[in-house]
Each structure stands twice: as structure tokens, then as C-alpha cells.
Amino acid sequence: MECFRDLGLFPEDQRIPAAALIDMWAELRDDDEATAMERIYKLVNLNLADIIVTRKVASGAIDYNYHYVTQYGLLRDLAIRDTDQEAEDKRNRLIIDTSANNLPSWWTSENEYHIAARILSISTGL
């Protein structure tokens, strides 16, 4: 499930703003707000994520700025591992963790390397 893989792009043990996922999926998949929230609730129903609503709007209107998605570290690792199964030059998303100096081999090589990723996540561990 592509949306599950997208959760691996965000830092571990952090709340992911639902609005960020909505915006990302609108750009990548042409999802509207309702479709993006359906994707989030599908992940929740499959126990692949949790949703936290920090504040209800008094008017009754739905404001997703107060919705956050969380994910257990093990599930995030699974999403990253699933992404890593694809060939690097064919991936839609590229996740780079520089915290342990585990840079990809192509990062430090002098050869030109083409990557087709549409989403880039760089984690520094700070």
C-alpha cells in the first residue's frame, strides 16, 4: 500500500500532521481532502497508524489542522524496508538516514546517478 510507505518518510515517534499527508497526496495522486482522509482512516482501520484529534472546532466544521497521524517505530521500519525492496533508481520515494553515517554508495561517488524519486526524506538524527 503506497500510503503506508509514505508514512516512513516522516521522523520516528513524531506526530505527522494530517494536513501534510493531505497536501502530499493531493500533489502526488491528485487526491482531494476527502479521499486523503479516507486513506488515513483505512491505515487506521488496518492498525498501520493511529489518528489523534487535538481539538474539535466549535462550529462543527472539520478542520484537519488538528488531526495528527502516529505510527509505531516498528511499523515505520517496515514501511522503510518495503520501500527499500525497490531498485534505488526506480523508487517513488527516497529515504536517506545520515545519522549513523550510513550514506548510500552513490552519495559519495563521483559518478552521475539518476534517481526517479518524487519524494525525498533526509533524516539527520538530530
* Closest by CA position to 1, among listed 34, 48, 35: 48
How high is the pLDDT of residue 60?
63
The residues that bridge with 68 in the sheet, in sequence order, are 17, 52
Question: For the segment 66-125, what is each residue's pLDDT rounded down to a tens digit?
Answer: 899 999 999 999 999 998 888 877 888 888 777 777 777 766 777 666 778 888 888 876
Instruction: Tell me the backbone φ, ψ of residue 17, rounded to 5 degrees.
Output: -60, 125
Q: Return the domain boundaries, the chain.
A: 2-123
CB 61 within 8 A of CB 25: no
Q: Which fold has domain 2-123?
A: Arc Repressor Mutant, subunit A (1.10.10)
Helix, strand, coil % (nearest 5) of the chain? Answer: 40, 15, 40
